[in-house]
């Protein structure tokens, strides 16, 4: 089994995150927790590339549609359709418009349990219900009722991979292997080495 410290995850600062000048704040949280940045770029994307990103998992359309329909029902509201694929089609169109609206910053973070650690710091999908202390909870206040009323995607600043297998596919989708930098970082010895050196002066 690969050592947990080699896990990688994909994060994308979405157009609203760049416009609100939050790239540094967001990166700082991942640096603070001890993750290592191994790739980053500022770029723009296309509707085709965004659609491919969200549908890398062939089940994504069904799962997202079903999840959205049940969250409407939990709130006692009528879903826009009973067909998960129809619901997802609308979500995907909105996501494409959102993601192409301006520059974005894809990046790869590496370190122990990178996927889980990043998701914990990012918070839940809908900023209104993201816990305080998380990036979405602290920096944005969007909600599904508001984004649905306005016929747009929820503005939640960032994308972060949901599982290690999702991360692997997404990393390949956004970065060429030569864009990923392999390097040692001095502070990692403190976090990961089985024994700490003796730091006391004799």
Rounded to a whole number of angstroms, the minimum distance from the CB of residue 14 to Mg ion is 12
DSSP 40: E
What is the H or E stretch that residue 73 is in?
helix 60-74
What is the H or E stretch that residue 106 is in?
strand 105-110
Nearer to ligand GDP among residue 146 and residue 188 (C-beta) = 146
Nearest residue to ligand GDP by CB is 125
Report in angstroms the alpha-carbon separations of 144 from 19, 40, 121, 128, 184.
21, 30, 21, 8, 42
Q: Is 162 in the site for Mg ion (CB under 5 A)?
A: yes
Which tokens belong to 140?
Answer: 């944005």
Rounded to a whole number of angstroms, the minimum distance from the CB of residue 87 to ligand GDP is 8
Q: Is 103 in the site for Mg ion (CB under 5 A)?
A: no
Rounded to a whole number of angstroms, the minimum distance from the CB of residue 15 to ligand GDP is 13
Rounded to a whole number of angstroms, the minimum distance from the CB of residue 36 to Mg ion is 22
- 49, 113, 159, 173: which one is catalytic? 159
Nearer to ligand GDP among residue 46 and residue 163 (C-beta) = 163
Summarize as ranges the residues that interact with ligand GDP (CB under 6 A).
64, 67-68, 71, 91, 95, 125, 144, 147-148, 153-154, 156, 159, 162
Query: Which among Mg ion, ligand GDP, none contacts residue 45 (Cβ within 5 to 8 A by kind)?
Result: none
Query: Which among ligand GDP, Mg ion, none contacts residue 144 (Cβ within 5 to 8 A by kind)?
Result: ligand GDP
Nearest to 160, CA basis, from 191, 135, 131, 128: 135
Q: Exposure of 159 by Cβ count < 10 A (0-12 exposed, 13-18 middle, 19+ buried)?
A: buried
Nearest residue to Mg ion by CB is 162
What whole-number distance in Å separates Cα of residue 171 and Cα of residue 153?
A: 23
What whole-number distance in Å separates Cα of residue 108 and Cα of residue 6?
A: 12
> Is 113 labeled as catalytic in the residue annotation?
no
Residues that bind Mg ion (CB under 5 A): 162
Residues marked as catalytic: 159
């Amino acid at each position: 089994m690969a050592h947990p410290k080699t896990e990688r995850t994909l994060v994308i600062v979405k157009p609203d995150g760049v416009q609100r000048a939050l790239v540094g704040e967001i990166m700082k949280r991942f640096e603070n927790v001890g993750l290592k940045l191994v790739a980053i770029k500022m770029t723009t994307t296309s509707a085709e590339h965004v659609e491919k990103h969200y549908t890398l998992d062939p089940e994504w359309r069904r799962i997202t549609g079903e999840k959205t329909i049940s969250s409407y029902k939990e709130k006692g509201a009528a879903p826009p359709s009973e067909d998960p694929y129809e619901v997802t089609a609308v979500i995907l169109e909105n996501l494409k418009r959102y993601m192409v609206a301006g520059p974005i910053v894809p990046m790869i973070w590496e370190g122990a349990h990178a996927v889980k650690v990043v998701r914990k710091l990012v918070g839940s999908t809908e900023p209104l219900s993201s816990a305080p202390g998380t990036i979405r909870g602290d920096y944005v206040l969007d909600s599904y009722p508001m984004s649905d009323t306005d016929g747009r995607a929820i503005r939640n600043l960032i994308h972060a991979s949901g599982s290690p297998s999702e991360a692997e596919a997404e990393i390949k989708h956004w970065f060429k292997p030569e864009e990923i930098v392999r390097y040692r970082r001095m502070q990692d010895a403190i976090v990961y080495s089985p024994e700490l050196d003796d730091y006391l002066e004799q």
